[in-house]
Amino acid sequence: MPLVAYKDLPTFQRLRQEGRTVLPPERASHQDIRELHIGLLNMMPDNALQATERQFFRLVGESNQIAQFYMHPFTLPELSRGAEAKTYISKHYETFDQIREQGLDALIVSGANVSRPDLDQEPFWEPLQNVMNWAWENVTSTICSCLATHAVMQFRYGQKRTPRKEGKLWGVYEHRVVDRAHPLAQHTNTLFFAPHSRFNDISEAQFNAAGMKILVKSEKAGVHMAVSPDGFRLVCFQGHPEYDTISLLKEYKREVTRFMNGERGDYPPVPENFFNESALEILKNCEKQIRGGSKTPDFPEEKIIETLDNTWRDSARSTIANWAGHVYQTTHMDRKKPFMDGIDPDDPLGIRKNKV
């Protein structure tokens, strides 16, 4: 599904430079292919705003070629922003009012950084509920990533996340598809890896109590992917299928920098199951230099990048391709209507009907 560069968004040029297919609007207008309009509610902080945007754009654009994708990024004005990010958002993002006026076929909601112990104390809490409630009534399907999943599980299903006793879950973990017959899991590797980066968890028992259907889980990382009781209108990830190969490395570098600046007392552990032996040796030497008092050690980012493997991208693409394909098959031609005439909102993929 090619992305369409219908606006002057820097991400489109960046993706072209990476060799990815991005259609100019004049070319898109001559193709007899249906448009799909997908919103991206980007709640990430300033230093991750554009990277998150690119990650989700890549994931959607690489799925397959049955439609033209028009991506509509927007954010919440209640989130604290610096001057540069505000300028970028003002120039390139839409407002939620504009999104509601135009309508969407589907929606993706990113994670966010939080500073308070309870999500309902965050400034984005009520605005996020407004977006999610609108999407539930007007959008075919919504994907939630990490914190967005925790938020919607709390305000829609009454299931609050809890801090992990073991500390932060950080790394790449093995997962299994536990419902192979579900349309979103078909043609996906039944055993695959996925990255996680979180201090909190919604347990399998909590997902079950909410009536959610678990599709993918891990012995170490818990539930990775679950869907709403109807099977499609809400797709929740606790992990990060959108992560680039270098995302966890960037997070680790950030934590090392925080240690060097005195912002954290302990030297950060490495993400689990991510670095190979060669990379670990390089990072161990870097740690020795830093602990030895070197004031300006060069973090060996480029050397590490050469050693990294991506063990989750193909499975993520397959899942998103399934999702986008079923949005295509069920959404109404009118973007303000979530489903084609005759589609049951309580069973949009016909899962229950087919079991009868």
Task: Report the catalytic residues.
Answer: 146, 240, 242
- Angle, alpha carbons 328-330-331 (nearest 5°): 75
316's enclosing H/E stretch is helix 313-330
For 99, the 3-state DSSP assignment is: helix
For 188, the 3-state DSSP assignment is: coil
Calpha distance 70→134 (Å, rounded): 20
Calpha distance 258→171 (Å, rounded): 19
Beta strands in 161-246 (DSSP E): 162-163, 169-177, 191-198, 200-201, 213-218, 222-227, 234-237
- The answer to whether 316 touches 242, Cβ cutoff 8 Å, is yes
Q: What's at 244, amino acid-wise?
A: D
Quick one: the chain helix, strand, coil %, rounded to 5? Answer: 40, 20, 45
- The answer to whether 172 touches 272, Cβ cutoff 8 Å, is yes
Task: Give the distance from CA 216 to its chain's centroid.
Answer: 15
